[in-house]
Structures are given as structure tokens and as C-alpha cells.
Structure 1
Amino acid sequence: MTDAPAPDVPAVTTAPGKREGVLSPTYLATTLGTVAVIVLVAFETMAVITVMPDVSDDLDGRRLYALGFAAPLASGVIGMVLAGMWSDRVGPGRPLLAALGVFASGLLVAGVAPTMELFVAGRFLQGMGGGASMVVLYVLVGILYPGRLQASLFAAYAAAWVLPSFFGPLLAAWVADAFGWRWVFIGTVALVAAVTAVLARRALAVPRSEGAPMHTSLRPLWWALLAAAAVMGVRLLDVEVASLACAAVVLFALSKLLPAGALRLGRGLPSVISTRGLLAGSFFTAQAYVVLMFEEQWGMDATTAGFVLAAVGVVWWLGSSLQAKNSEKAHALVMTAGTALLAVAFVAMTAVIALDANVWLAAAVFVVAAGAMGLAYPRTTVAMLALSTDADRGSNSAAINAADSMGAALSIAVAGLIMGVAESADVEPFFPLYAFAAALAVLSLLAARRTA
């Protein structure tokens, strides 16, 4: 038996005939608080890219430069699994506050770190707290918001990435120049504390969902630890055979973290999870190398490439807004449309690269791919929640985030291997790299067609 919700906590459904929105008085504080969490995580993601060269130079840590990015990506999966299991047992309140606390602790450790090793430890904590907070937010949305509002809320989450994409690097650069790179991390701690204060009372008032948790074993945590270690090995090992062995370990560990049948595209929830992982792998691999490609193949300057990336953020948001207008229609149809558009875009990109066509044509195709992601990517979360029960909402939220994070990390690492092999063979590397991204997009389309 669970306690009844506090009077100011919205129920899962609204009163008959009443069509409230995510910004109505019932949901306003929770909506703003959860969106603020997304903004903070997004800002830190964009800001770190800007200040990492300064951090590396100041701490004499060039040897651990890559680990500064790999550590939070790997630890995020551990946080996701822990948060999902904990949320299923006690509700989202305490896990959310703990996740934000760990995230803030990581910021503080990174900000005051006297050595690169300690800085990486802080980044590890940031990743764990950030990954955990994303899972708990999904659980919170599943409990507090009716299904008709969930797509709109996830579109708002996508929009929350737009401003940090525009201003995060510029603001981080200004803070680093004016006060030093450490204040990019330390200054964010106060913002995390403010957001935690806004969410604390409402989050703690949300009870655990009815029904006993389906997952009581600690084995998912051990598999998450193995997957995290292996994906870092893929990113950091220089020997191709060892890297591929680590990639195989990642896939094996993922098979234990995801719903049964996810890796073989089983119908329903398993394919929803796989669609998310393949989408992340395809698009984020392409995004990781797109600026480098623009500069090396066509000579585009970094500032112009930055404007292209800004357009990517806006078009992604527009795609998310479009799918939100179809919030009560077939999830499989929306995901299929988005993945099909992504596959067409990346097949076109490989053709543009092969023909060495105009750079603006390549940029336009990539912006179209961002719109495809806006359509399909947030809808995978809505579909996952629709296929979950009170007993497994947290675990499924952890699974879709694990597929997302590991799908992107593993694909980017494999793309790095492709780049290295192509360059050692004196072959233009961008064509096989984007062909790989296109192949992942086609697989995401196959998975989306099996989500019904």
C-alpha cells in the first residue's frame, strides 16, 4: 500500500472534459523544473566541448583528454540502471534528488580538481548523475502527466537543447576568458541547487507506483559496469582487434540490460528500445564528424559550420513539435516516418560525398536528417511509456536511455576505427563513415516497422 499523493501533485489523468496543457497551473512548476534539468545537462554538455582544451593545458592532461568525454558517457549508463531500479522501488522523488546531488558533486569536483585524474573523476560523477536524472524524469512524466501531454512535454525537452546549442559554447568561452574554466563548472552548481529546490517538494510527494517491481536483481548493475568499461575500451584502445573485442562485449552486456529480444528486433517494446539505440548511433555518429568533414572536404570555416549546427537544433525542435501534434496517433507510424526520412537523408549524404558536390547541399541534407530525428527520437520515449506498466516503468526508462547512450558511444567508436583504417589505406574516410551511419539508419527503419 502506498500513501496518497499530496493535494498539489497532479494525478495521471485530468478531470472529465478538462483539457489542460503542460503549462497549465496543475503542471507548470513540474514542467519548468524538469525542463530546467534538461537545460542544465545540455549546457554542461556543450560547455565542456569549449573549455576542454583549456582544462587539458592547465592540468597537463593531454593524455587523458579523450577520457574526459568517455568517462561521463560510460558512467551515465550505470546511473541509468541504478535510477531505474531505485525508482521502481521507492518512486521518483528520492532518486531524482540524489541524481541531481551527484551531478552537482561532479561539477564541484571537476571545478576544483588540481589534477587531470581528479577532473576525470568529477566528469565520471557528472555522467552518473546526469544519466540517472534523465531516467527519473521519464518516470516522473509517466506518473504525473496523462498520455496526451507526454509527447508535448518531450518536444519541450528537445526544445530545451536549442538554446544551450546556440549559447552554451559562447557563454562557456566568455566565462573561461573572464574568470577561468573552473567557473564553468563551479558556477553551474548554484543553478543545480536552485532547480533541486524547485523540484524537491513536488518530487518527494509523488508515491511509488502501484505494483511490485518486476526487476529485483542487482545483475543489471553488473552488466552496466561491464558495458561502461568495454565502451571506454573501444574508444581508447589503439589496436583494432582489441577494440572490436570490446565492441562485442558491449553488445553482449547490452543484451542483458535491454528487454529480451531487443538486439534481434523483437516486436513491440524490444524494437522501440532498438529503434532508439539505432537512431542515436546513426545520427550522433554523423554529427560527431560533420564539422570535420565540412572543413576538410569542402573548406568550410568553423564559424559557418557552427551556424549549420544551430540550424540543426532548430529543425530538430520543429520536428519534435510536429510529432507532438500527433500525440494520440499510432506511435509506430510516426517512428517509421522519421526513421525512413533519416535513412533517405544519410543515403543522400553518402552520394553527395562520393560526387564531391556542393557543401551547402551536404549541409541541407544534414539539416533534413535533424528534422527526421525530431520526428522519431522523442516518439520512442512516448511509445516506451505507453508499453510500460507501473512495475517496470523505471526499468524500461533505464533501458531506453542505456540503448541511447551505448548506441551512440559504440557507433562513434566504430566510426573512429573506420576512419583509421581508411586513412591508413589512403582512402577518403568520409564516404565509408557516412555509409556506416546510413546503414544504421536503415536498421532503425526496420526496427521501427516492428514496434507496433
Structure 2
Amino acid sequence: MTSNREAPSSTPRGGILSRTYLATTIGVFSLIAFNAFEALAVTTIMPTISSDLDGFSLYAVAFAAPLASGVVGTVAAGAWSDRRGPAGSLVASLVLFTLGVLIAGLAPSMEVFVAGRVVQGLGTGALIVSLYVVVGVVYPNDLRPSIFASFAAAWVLPSLFGPAIAAFVAETAGWRWVFLGIVGLVAVAAVLVAPVVPGLRTESHNKPAPRSRMIWATVASVAVLTVELAGSHASIVGVVAASTAIVVVLVSIRSLTPSGTLRAGRGLPSVVGTRGLMSAAFFCGQAYIVLVLQLRWGLTPGQAGLALTLVGVVWAAASQVQARLSRRLTSERAMVIGTAMLLVATVLLWVAVLLDLTPIVAGGAFVLAGAGMGLGFTRTAVAMLAASTDRDRGFNSSALTIADSIGAALALSLCGIAYAAAERANLDPFLAVFGLAVIAAVGALGTASRTTRADEGRLSSATAV
């Protein structure tokens, strides 16, 4: 690839595995796979880490930190990609991710662990937006549902084996070796993607992105983490500080996403909003599903991790379904169906905790959430790229990833506050956090219904908004 021209519209025989795209497909698939293993492994062993480092008060922050800092990496990578293509940001993302994983794995305290997660998040944010730009530039419209479905498929093996391996390693050798093992996976992925990188380098064709975007990204990241750190303290000062931080986050988002995103404007703004709210609902569940299965129903880390395994498989399967139906199922309808499934799943999870049903019901509800994400979440990226051009593909890709990260990070920060407040009031903290997931899912369903521009009809996988 030598330029940022729009990818051709014809579809070569063999699709994303044809000779034209094979090297790129293998490279991006491997990058998503190691990122998936890290996410699932850390989720499985986070209760063990917080106990070992005596840092349960920072449990929610440990999840929110890489999501929040990822916003900065996302903005930087989006601007870099719009100017010179995604090659440079792709390499930088791997370096930052590796450094963050090493810091977390060697952390002597929970505070240092969180700091490592912050650095790791910078790399993750840059990686995801770089890969989206690669997809937008390299693959034609007809192949985009398939390549995004392969992103979901890249979660299958990590889902099948990641939680079990992480639990086994943590119990036998210690949780630190999980992180050190991830460094090895990054090295393997780097070798696989290396042949693709030279072809992604392009000449500068855009003006530098406004410096204000990086400033607002940094402000948003700090504000998101401030929400939880301040709000967890039972004091008027803490409440005021957390409320102020939320306002700052919302103001920052206005400068980092398409105009109208906060008010769910029709078309691309609602696509971005749907992405953020789906992430918020899903990650409230993911961060606490392993914990609730262990504390409420007495499951081991390995047993609780089975929920993550099934979610990964179901997410990938649903994503494959949406790819096969790409010509008949519009992006708007896929997002509406996906968010509706997510809403049913979060309500069912909340009810399972309320009525103290079996862990199978709770885990099954979370698996249903994964199916909704596979169907609707995947199409947010397809719809975003359909609405983008060479000039704004990097910005829109970064905006989608920012909504993803900020939505999840802010929701997790609020979950931390709700969990602590419920415990102080002798209430069930899991009802509080899963209740927040229900609220976010309701919002996602509302924005998904507004992803069609009034003047241009329905979004589809092959037609710009």
C-alpha cells in the first residue's frame, strides 16, 4: 500500500484470505489475538492481583486506567495515521503496550500496577485505531464486515484457553508470570505483522491535527480516573470533585467526537454514541462477572473464567453471522438488535443477583451480552468507515475508539463508586454495578435507533451515510 486512496470496490476471489490481503489479514489477526488474551487473562486474575497487592480499593481503577489512557493513544494514532498512514503508530503502540505489561507484571504495589496499566492503555488505544485505519485503507467496502468478523474470531482461541491458562499460571507460578508470558505473545505478533508494516507507510497529505485534541484527550483521561478516586470517598468534597470530573469528561468528549455525539444526533454521531454506551454496559458486566461468581456463588477463578470463554466464542459466532448477512442486514438494524440483546442480558444478570439464582443463569446472561456485542458492536465500525473519507478516516476511527474507551472507563469508575457506596449502606454492591449496566444498555438501544441520517436513508455495510 503506497497511498491513502479509497480501497477498491471490487472483491477479489478468496476475500480477506486472497493473495492481495493475506499478509495484512494475518498481521492484524495476530495483533487482535494477543490483545484478546491479555484482556481475558487479566480479567480472570484481577481478584487475585487485588488481594495479593492489598489493593481492592483500586479494583475498578485497574480496569478503567488502560481504557482512560487509551484515549490519549487513540487521538495521537488517529492524527498520525491521517498524516502518514498507520505504520508508525502501529509500531509505537506495540512498544508502549509491552512496557506497560512489564511494569504491571513487576509491580510491588497496586499503585504501581495501575501505573503500568496506564502505560499499557496508551499502547492499546493507539493499536486499535491504527488497525481500523488499516482496514479502512486496505480493504474494500464489501470485505470490511468480514475483516471485522475476523477481529471477533481472533478472540476465540484466547477465549477458549486464556482464562483457564491465566488461572492455572496464577495458582501454580504466580499471577506475575501471566504478564511476563504476554510479553512473549507480543513478540510473536510483532514478527507476524512485520512484513506488512513497510507497505503501510505513506506520504504526508494532511495538516497536523490541532494540538487542542491531544490536550482534551489528556484532560478526559485524567478526569475519568478522578471520578472514581474522588467519588469513592464518603464526603461532600469527594462528591463535588467526582461530579465536576464528570462534567469535564463530557466537555472533553465534544472536542474528540463528531458534532452532535452527546445529543445523539442522527447518523455518525449516534453510531459513535452507540459504541460508547454498548462498551459501558458490557464492561460493567465483564469487570464484575468473575468477582460475583467467586464471592456470591463460591466458584474458583478457573470456573468463573468459563463465562469469559463462552462470551468470546459467542461474540465471534454472532460477528460471523452479521458478516454473512451483511447484504441483507443493515448496520442500523444490526445495532438495534444487538443493543436489545445487550439490554435483555443486563436485566437478566441483575435479576439473577437480586433473586440469588444459580451461577448458570448469571453466567448465561453475560454470554447473551456477548452475542449482542458480536452482532451490534461490530457494525459500529463498519458504519463509521462507510461514513468516512480519506480526510477524516483517522479522526472518525479515533472518535469511535475514544467513545469505546471513555464509555467503558467512565462506567467502570461509576461502578467503583456505586460498589463502595452500596457496601457502606449495607446494600448489595453487585446490584448497584449491574444496575448501571442496565441503564447504559437502555441508552445504547436509544442511540442505535438514531444511526440513520434523515436525509440519506439507512446505513448499510457498503454505502456511506
Q: Tell me which interval the TM-score lies in, with the shorter structure as reference length.
A: 0.7 to 0.9
1:369-395 Cα offsets, whole Å, 9 max, x none, are: 221111101110111111111111111
In 2, are the aligned partners of 1:111 and 1:186 still within 8 Å (CA)? yes
- Aligned residue runs from structure 1 range 222-241, under 5 A: 222-237=215-230, 238-239=232-233, 240-241=238-239
Which one of the candidate residues 63, 70, 94 is aligned to 1:100?
94
1:194-234 Cα offsets, whole Å, 9 max, x none, are: 43343234233235499636x72011111111111111112
The equivalent of 1:200 in structure 2 is: 194
Counting aligned pairs with the same residue, the percent is: 47
Query: Secondary structure of 2:391's match?
Result: coil
In 2, are the aligned partners of 1:88 and 1:208 still within 8 Å (CA)? no
**Aligned: 1:13 with 2:12:** no
Which one of the candidate residues 69, 81, 87 is aligned to 1:75?
69
The equivalent of 1:307 in structure 2 is: 306
Give the whole-Å Cα distance in 2 for the aligned partners of 1:313 and 1:147: 26
Query: Quick one: which amino acid aligns to residue 282 of structure 2?
Result: F
In 2, are the aligned partners of 1:317 and 1:374 still within 8 Å (CA)? yes
The equivalent of 2:34 in structure 1 is: 40
Instruction: Kindly tell me the number of residue pairs found equivalent between the two proteins.
Output: 445
The equivalent of 1:383 in structure 2 is: 383
The equivalent of 2:285 in structure 1 is: 286
The equivalent of 1:167 in structure 2 is: 161
User: Residues 10 and 34 of structure 1: is their aligned pair in 2 closer, same or farther, counting only changes over 3 Å?
Assistant: farther
In 2, are the aligned partners of 1:81 and 1:220 still within 8 Å (CA)? yes
Give the whole-Å Cα distance in 2 for the aligned partners of 1:33 and 1:301: 35
**Aligned: 1:343 with 2:338:** no
Deviates more, 1:47-56 or 1:182-191: 47-56
User: Residues 40 and 10 of structure 1: is their aligned pair in 2 closer, same or farther, counting only changes over 3 Å?
Assistant: farther
Deviates more, 1:396-405 or 1:204-213: 204-213
Q: CA deviation at 1:126?
A: 1.7
The equivalent of 1:426 in structure 2 is: 426
Query: Quick one: which amino acid aligns to residue 48 of structure 1?
Result: V
In 2, are the aligned partners of 1:97 and 1:200 still within 8 Å (CA)? no
Q: CA deviation at 1:286?
A: 2.2
- Aligned residue runs from structure 1 range 366-405, under 5 A: 366-405=366-405
Query: Secondary structure of 2:196's match?
Result: helix
User: Residues 339 and 127 of structure 1: is their aligned pair in 2 closer, same or farther, counting only changes over 3 Å?
Assistant: same
Give the whole-Å Cα distance in 1 for the aligned partners of 2:432 and 2:50: 31
Give the whole-Å Cα distance in 2 for the aligned partners of 1:167 and 1:449: 36
The equivalent of 1:24 in structure 2 is: 18
Give the whole-Å Cα distance in 1 for the aligned partners of 2:187 and 2:161: 21
Query: Quick one: which amino acid aligns to residue 422 of structure 1?
Result: A
In 2, are the aligned partners of 1:319 and 1:371 still within 8 Å (CA)? yes
Q: CA deviation at 1:443?
A: 1.1
Query: Quick one: which amino acid aligns to residue 127 of structure 1?
Result: G
CA RMSD of aligned residues (A): 3.1
Give the whole-Å Cα distance in 1 for the aligned partners of 2:134 and 2:420: 43
1:275-296 Cα offsets, whole Å, 9 max, x none, are: 0000011111123223344455
**Aligned: 1:133 with 2:132:** no
Query: Quick one: which amino acid aligns to residue 384 of structure 2?
Result: M
Give the whole-Å Cα distance in 2 for the aligned partners of 1:451 and 1:422: 36
Q: CA deviation at 1:42?
A: 1.8
User: Residues 58 and 302 of structure 1: is their aligned pair in 2 closer, same or farther, counting only changes over 3 Å?
Assistant: closer
- Aligned residue runs from structure 1 range 205-354, under 5 A: 205-208=199-202, 212=206, 216-237=209-230, 238-239=232-233, 240-241=238-239, 242-297=241-296, 302-328=301-327, 329-354=329-354
Deviates more, 1:62-71 or 1:257-266: 62-71
1:290-322 Cα offsets, whole Å, 9 max, x none, are: 334445555555544332332222211111111
1:250-298 Cα offsets, whole Å, 9 max, x none, are: 2222222111110100011100000000001111112322334445555
Q: CA deviation at 1:432?
A: 4.3
In 2, are the aligned partners of 1:92 and 1:204 still within 8 Å (CA)? no
Give the whole-Å Cα distance in 2 for the aligned partners of 1:251 and 1:427: 29
In 2, are the aligned partners of 1:10 and 1:145 still within 8 Å (CA)? no
1:136-171 Cα offsets, whole Å, 9 max, x none, are: 000001111111111111111112223223322433
In 2, are the aligned partners of 1:342 and 1:369 still within 8 Å (CA)? yes
Query: Secondary structure of 2:265's match?
Result: coil
Give the whole-Å Cα distance in 2 for the aligned partners of 1:73 and 1:416: 15
In 1, are the aligned partners of 2:160 and 2:313 still within 8 Å (CA)? no
In 1, are the aligned partners of 2:155 and 2:313 still within 8 Å (CA)? no
In 2, are the aligned partners of 1:70 and 1:235 still within 8 Å (CA)? no
Deviates more, 1:393-402 or 1:165-174: 165-174
Give the whole-Å Cα distance in 1 for the aligned partners of 2:56 and 2:297: 29
User: Residues 256 and 20 of structure 1: is their aligned pair in 2 closer, same or farther, counting only changes over 3 Å?
Assistant: same
Query: Secondary structure of 1:216's match?
Result: coil
Query: Secondary structure of 1:22's match?
Result: helix
Give the whole-Å Cα distance in 2 for the aligned partners of 1:301 and 1:129: 31
The equivalent of 1:145 in structure 2 is: 139
In 2, are the aligned partners of 1:51 and 1:172 still within 8 Å (CA)? yes
**Aligned: 1:85 with 2:74:** no
User: Residues 70 and 353 of structure 1: is their aligned pair in 2 closer, same or farther, counting only changes over 3 Å?
Assistant: closer
In 2, are the aligned partners of 1:210 and 1:391 still within 8 Å (CA)? no
Give the whole-Å Cα distance in 2 for the aligned partners of 1:420 and 1:55: 19
The equivalent of 2:360 in structure 1 is: 360
Give the whole-Å Cα distance in 1 for the aligned partners of 2:122 and 2:423: 35
Give the whole-Å Cα distance in 2 for the aligned partners of 1:321 and 1:46: 20
In 2, are the aligned partners of 1:165 and 1:313 still within 8 Å (CA)? yes
User: Residues 337 and 104 of structure 1: is their aligned pair in 2 closer, same or farther, counting only changes over 3 Å?
Assistant: same
Give the whole-Å Cα distance in 2 for the aligned partners of 1:295 and 1:185: 22
Deviates more, 1:32-41 or 1:113-122: 113-122
Q: CA deviation at 1:46?
A: 2.9
Give the whole-Å Cα distance in 2 for the aligned partners of 1:177 and 1:424: 32
Give the whole-Å Cα distance in 1 for the aligned partners of 2:67 and 2:100: 13
1:164-205 Cα offsets, whole Å, 9 max, x none, are: 233224334555567665544444434433433432342332
